[in-house]
Amino acid sequence: RARCIAEGEDVPMRLTRRVLTASLAAAALAAPAAAQTNVTITHALPVDSHYGVGAVAFKEAVERLTNGRYRVTIQRNDNEREAIEATQIGTQEFTITSTGPVGNFVPETLVLDIPFLFRDYAHARGALDSQIGQDILAKFSARGLVGVVWMENGFRNVTNSRHEVATPADLHGLKIRTMENPVHMRAFQTLGALPTPMAFSELVPALQQGTVDGQENPIPVIVSNNLNQVQKYLSLTRHVYSPAVMIGNPAFWNGLNAADKAAFLEAAKAAQKANRDRVTADEQRGVQLLRERGMTVRESVDTAAFQAALAPAFEAYGKQFDPALIRRFRDWKPGS
Ligand code: PAF
């Protein structure tokens, strides 16, 4: 129909249309390009990892939902403390980080780092997405940060270069790199290991030089960072769930109008989904992959013995944190 009308036009009408089209094109060329804001998000891991896919999902969703008015650059920084500081002072807008160093900025998150607090992924994800988890996210703003969304690192497992670990006694005297997290450090000290806190960026050289014998991380981290190249023994201790969180810079976040903030929040949810889906997939295939890469995997460990050996640490956490809050997380059930 549109073509028929055009063919039926008389000559002066067609000329008018051409002049109009030409002037519109000229006006478009002369108009300033729509403003584009660059936003940076960092995380500690390779592109092909559970953080990498989360960051890519965030970038794609932000750029699509804002029609390209925001452009997201993804960068790697495997020193998570530095990345949080940079987000706080605003040299970058976002970071995805484990809660490892977060407790040094937002002490209210430390309760989440207690060993054996969460039974499984459904428990951890459900509790963090529920009101108790959201209440902790809300605490970030008093510390000069924005807690945007809970993401995930996974259940942590011990690896080392000396021997299989099946009971707490096997950890005695082992130098284990921990995150810069006082809750984790207390746990490893209580288990008789020698906890050595350091940033992830320092881990591989420390393992290569023998400064430490072992470390602990979730399967997705061990796989994506090829830690099998520097560690022989993997024990599925699953001693602590390691949450991750997307943190934002408050000045940037509070400067967004309502529609853009909604777009960023939707993008953060897309990042959370991609990240959790990848953790699930890595957990399913990762252990076999690590065996194929030459690791000796100890699947059954004496979880009850680890929990019993941690009794003095649990007592200390009960004094340090609100016992009712610990119970709310530990006893969380869907619908509770
Ligand atoms: O071990 C750590 O520091 C963290 O688990 C890591 C690997 C940086 C991911 O958040």
Q: Whose Cα sits closest to atom 5 in ligand 1? A: 217
Q: Return the ligand 1 atom nearest residue 221 CA.
A: 7
CB atoms within 10 A of CB 202: 16
What is the reported pLDDT for 32? Answer: 56
Ligand 1 centroid from CA 222, angstroms: 10
Pairing of strands 70-76, 94-98: unpaired
* Average pLDDT taken over every residue of the chain: 93
Ligand 1 centroid from CA 79, angstroms: 9
What is the reported pLDDT for 200? Answer: 98
What is the reported pLDDT for 11? Answer: 40
Q: How far apart are CA 83 and CA 213, in angstroms?
A: 27
From the DSSP assignment, how many helices (H) and strands (E) are in the chain? 14, 9
Q: How far apart are the first and last CA of the chain?
A: 60
Q: Whose Cα sits closest to atom 2 in ligand 1? A: 200
- Name, in order, each residue with C-beta under 8 angstroms of 179's C-beta and a sequence gap of 6 or more: 80, 98, 100, 101, 197, 200
Q: Return the ligand 1 atom nearest residue 200 CA.
A: 3
What is the reported pLDDT for 21? Answer: 53
Q: Whose Cα sits closest to atom 3 in ligand 1? A: 200
Q: How far apart are CA 214 and CA 279, in angstroms?
A: 22
Ligand 1 centroid from CA 80, angstroms: 8
Q: How far apart are CA 81 and CA 227, in angstroms?
A: 21
Q: Whose Cα sits closest to atom 9 in ligand 1? A: 98
Pairing of strands 175-178, 37-43: unpaired
Where would I find the beta strands (DSSP E) of the chain?
37-43, 70-76, 94-98, 146-160, 175-178, 194-197, 214-218, 233-248, 296-298
Ligand 1 centroid from CA 335, angstroms: 31
- Report the pocket of ligand 1 as residue ranges, CB < 6 Å: 44, 80, 98, 100, 153, 179, 200, 217, 221, 242
**Along the 336 residues of the chain, how does pLDDT read in single tens digits?**
233 323 333 444 444 455 455 554 554 455 556 789 999 999 999 999 999 999 999 999 999 999 999 999 999 999 999 999 999 999 999 999 999 999 999 999 999 999 999 999 999 999 999 999 999 999 999 999 999 999 999 999 999 999 999 999 999 999 999 999 999 999 999 999 999 999 999 999 999 999 999 999 999 999 999 999 999 999 999 999 999 999 999 999 999 999 999 999 999 999 999 999 999 999 999 999 999 999 999 999 999 999 999 999 999 999 999 999 999 999 999 987
What is the reported pLDDT for 335? Answer: 83
List pLDDT tens digits, range 289-333: 999 999 999 999 999 999 999 999 999 999 999 999 999 999 999
What pTM value is reported for the model?
0.90
Q: Most distant CA pair in the chain: distance in Å?
A: 95
- Which residue among 50, 79, 179 is best mutated to probe the pocket of ligand 1, counting the most ligand atoms within 8 A of its Cβ? 179
Helix (H, G, I), strand (E, B) or coil at 241: strand
What is the reported pLDDT for 292? Answer: 98
Ligand 1 centroid from CA 269, angstroms: 21
Ligand 1 centroid from CA 200, angstroms: 6
Q: Return the ligand 1 atom nearest residue 242 CA.
A: 5
Ligand 1 centroid from CA 195, angstroms: 15
Q: Return the ligand 1 atom nearest residue 199 CA.
A: 3
List pLDDT tens digits, range 244-257: 999 999 999 999 99
Q: How far apart are CA 117 and CA 249, in angstroms?
A: 29
Q: Return the ligand 1 atom nearest residue 177 CA.
A: 1
265 strand-pairing partners: none
What is the reported pLDDT for 17? Answer: 52
Ligand 1 centroid from CA 134, angstroms: 22
Q: How far apart are CA 114 and CA 329, in angstroms?
A: 10
